[in-house]
Amino acid sequence: MLARRTWLGLLLVLLLLGLGALAFVFNFLPASLQAPRVLQIDPANDATDILLTSPITITFSAPMQRVETQNALGLTPRVSGNFTWRDDQTLVFTPRTQLPISTTLTLTLARDARSWIGRALENETRSRFTTLAPPSVVDSSPALDARFVYVPNQVTIAFSRAMDGNLLADSVMIEPLPEQFGINVNQNLVTLRGFFQARTRYRITIPEFVTDKEFGIPLARDYVWAFTAASQYPNFSILNRGRVLKFSANTPIEIPTQFTNVSRLDVELYSISQSVFEEQANAPFESWYEFEPTTAPTKTRRVETNAQLDEYTQQSVSLDALSRGTYFLKITTPEGVSDAQLIVVE
């Protein structure tokens, strides 16, 4: 019995040694004989702004069985296309039509992909990329949501990339048309010039069929905005002689404001420490107006105003009751004017 156990133990040791040796050998086999791996995918994982005509290229560590590997490839959302091979290790998928605009596509390569000697892909591989978005308006002067503008001599519009200047110049509409109207397109920046009249409401439309310069991709929608040319500059202030407002805890708060030609109040309230409060309460005027909290606001509100063109207006901003502490209040407007106050709640 003892001899039998000894032989069984010896066989087990030999088996383990054999498996270890086999694993050692496989680890040091040439790459073409090992389980294949994906070395590179182009577009790279998490790439953005990929052209709509871009092919997808996959490079493997070993020569592959072509049909099995092609069948193991999937794209979500589904895209039809053609397969070609640069060589036995490089697969190229070319879409038959353009990829969908502004879409994240996920590529999956299953382990069914096989090397030339039939070894399965070492690991299932996933990669994703996002295609180019339509061009868009990223900035303008006056701002897209500004309702009042001191009589301008020009309007500027900035796009996310260079636009087709001829098409854009022929397509922009402005009503009513200012006297001596002219338009200039310089890459992604469009300038509309003319004699705008005070107390006149203007409407600007950029139709959705306008395209970018390089790729011919149209806008996702019409861009339309309107403003009234005012004879007075927009202005705004929080009514307080100093820079500190005091309120009682657990009582709704009313912030008095005054303004001219302001369409909306964008309110942000920040909780700040006592030390920051004291520092800002005693800061020079220039430093005080440059102060920006380092944390996110605890409360935000958008308040539409009751402003009338070129008329001085007062309006209160209501806030929910606050707990005891020190705060920083900032109110901005689409017209670009703003004001700030420190708040103590006792």
- 293-338 pLDDT, tens digit per residue, is 999 999 999 999 999 999 999 999 999 999 999 999 999 999 999 9
One fold for 34-131 and 235-345: yes
In this structure, which CATH number among 3.60.110.10, 1.10.8.50, 2.60.40.1220, 2.70.150.10 belongs to the domain 137-230? 2.60.40.1220
pLDDT in tens, 240-265: 988 999 999 988 999 999 999 999 99
Grouping H, G, I as helix, E, B as strand and the rest as coil, residue 243 is coil
What was the pLDDT predicted at 24? 46
> Residue 286: its pLDDT value, please?
85
Residue with structure tokens 């380092």? 294
* pLDDT tier at 279, thresholds 50, 70, 90: very high
Dump pLDDT digits (tens) for 117-144: 999 999 999 999 999 999 999 999 888 8
Residue 4 has pLDDT above 80, yes or no: no
Across 21-25, average pLDDT: 47
User: How many helices and strands in the chain, by DSSP H and E?
Assistant: 5, 24
pLDDT-derived band at 151, boundaries 50, 70, 90: confident
pLDDT at residue 141, rounded to an integer: 87
Q: Return the number of other C-beta atoms located less than 10 Å from residue 123's C-beta.
A: 11
- Is the four-CA dihedral 118, 120, 121, 122 of positive or negative sign? negative
Q: Which pairing describes strands 173-175 and 325-332: parallel, antiparallel, or unpaired?
A: unpaired
Domain boundaries 34-131, corresponding CATH code: 2.60.40.3710
Q: Measured between alpha carbons, how far is 224 from 226 in angstroms, rounded to an integer?
A: 7
In terms of CATH architecture, what is 235-345? Sandwich (2.60)
Strand partners for 266? 302, 332
**Contact indicator for 100, 126 with CB cutoff of 8 Å:** no
| One-character DSSP codes across 275-299 | HHHHHHHTS-HHHHHH---SS--SE
CA distances from 44 to 13, 55, 107, 128 (A): 46, 12, 11, 8
Q: Is the pTM for the entire model greater than 0.75? A: no
Query: Over the chain, what is the mean pLDDT?
Result: 90
Domain ranges of the chain: 34-131, 137-230, 235-345
